[in-house]
Amino acid sequence: MRRADSRRYFTARQVRQLLIAASCKCQRCGSDLSQQPFHAHHVRKHADGGQTQLYNGMVLCIPCHKEIPR
């Protein structure tokens, strides 16, 4: 198994880039994230070796993020 990088959280710049790439929409349900809180999420879990890089990130509204299995 590949070891996760030491940086667990996306930087503010990475979060902005993820949001722009997603056109300010939740990447699960499509809701508008421009006026509501959201989370940057690792596609492959950090604990499973997922890197904290743009290719492994997505933005989700809070309700969708809560539905993802941990």
Per-10-residue mean pLDDT, the chain, length 70: 72 97 98 96 93 97 93
**Cα separation of 5 and 67, whole Å?**
25
- Evaluate whether 49 touches 5 at the Cβ level (below 8 Å): no
Residue 2's pLDDT is: 56
pLDDT score at 69: 84
